[in-house]
Amino acid sequence: MKLDRTHDPQLRSWVESANAPGTDFPIQNLPFGVFRRKRTREPLRGGVAIGDQILDLAALGLKTGPTLNSLASLGRPTWRRLRAELSRGLSTKNARWKALRRHLVPMKSAQLALPLAIGDYSDFYAGIHHASNVGRLLRPDNPLMPNYKWLPIGYHGRASSVVVSGTPVVRPKGQVKPPDATLPAYAPCQRLDYEVELGFAVGPGNRLGRPIPIGRAREHVFGVLLLNDWSARDIQTWEYQPLGPFLAKSFATTLSPWLVTLEALEPYRCPAYPRAAGDPRPLPYLSDEEDQREGGYDIAMEMFLRTRKMTTATRLSRASFRDSYWTLAQIVAHQSSNGCNLQTGDLLGSGTISGATPDSRGSLMELGQAGRQPLALPDGETRGFLEDGDEVTLRGRCARDGFASIGFGEAAGRVLPALS
């Protein structure tokens, strides 16, 4: 781990809300986002979350424009210097803090946007517990396909329908064919689901034809966001063979607005997921000693549901990215291993993250056993899949003894009825 003074748990900020216990955005975090004041025509611009405030990056003389792509392209040395400058400026040790205070905007007064212009989006299937749970529902005798433990499986998603947290999601329509039907029909999805994931934002890209070595893979990642991969399970069941997900996934993907940098996540690195006896060793292009030693990240993710009848949301699951079978570096290395050129702003999804226990399952498909055992909610309602008016909210947090706890904000979306 590469730790420095910006990770010091004793650091305090002159922004008082950043020192509050439980805040997502203490001075040790400093995630980037894009914002403008609500009900204004101000241009979108870059900012940093600190407590319940946003520091406009213009305070440091930076012109980021409507996205953070230009900043993301600059690379790790620049990001580290900027983080150090922000940490010094927001610290109580800064005698000139009043000059920065006028560049603060309260979060409650801000409209947040997607932090990046996303050119391409790939979604992976790195959560082994999710893959096993879903595999048992579909293929009880053979849950994991033969290639699962050899390579990070993924598919090419749809970048145009990635939306920022708070954007409503219209129930999709598509071709469905229930098991007892003779013919398919075009109808609203009846088995709408969410998936608990992380999104990895690409910083500097690689040249076409030049794979990224696994030992350099993290240098190409700007940061991490929460990601909800909305899924139309009944559309997916009919369409996915033989080429995989398509319209069942492309109608919406929700991202959190705050991008937590890999620098902020250094204290929460952990060993890669332990491979069972008999599992194959990764091929050389996916194998790196340091990555196996500390290439995982202990990022806890919780999914909450609030129905139209509820006054407060209820937690459905809690899992950690440390249970991902494939590391972030392995995902990046594999995506580029055929010479594919990643570009600044590209998004790589982790795939659904579930744990080994029933309360850590990262989708309703798992929690409700594909609708066979609907989930009982505290108010007496049940859910096999999402209904109109349901709002799901994904939250993330990192905690480790001896370090400040940091959060990711949230990725939330409410289900609207299908268009007539």
Catalytic residues: 130
The closest of 348, 275, 361 to 319, measured between CA atoms, is: 361
- Distance between CA atoms of residues 212 and 256, nearest Å: 27
Tokens of 159: 């970048």
What residue type is assigned to position 213 of the chain?
P
- Distance between CA atoms of residues 49 and 345, nearest Å: 20
Identify the burial level of 414 via C-beta atoms within 10 angstroms of its C-beta, where 0-12 means exposed, 13-18 middle and 19 or more buried: middle
> What one-character-per-residue DSSP string does 389-415 give?
T-EEEEEEEE--TTS--EEEEEEEEEE
**What b/e readout covers 379-398, taking b as 16+ CB neighbours within 10 angstroms?**
eebebbbbeeebbbbbbbbb
Hey, CA dihedral for 329, 330, 336, 339, is it positive or negative?
Answer: positive
Element (H, E) at 85: helix 76-90
Listed in sequence order, the DSSP H helices in 295-413 are: 328-336, 364-367
Tokens of 257: 């607005």
Could you give phi then psi for residue 190, rounded to 5 degrees? -105, -10
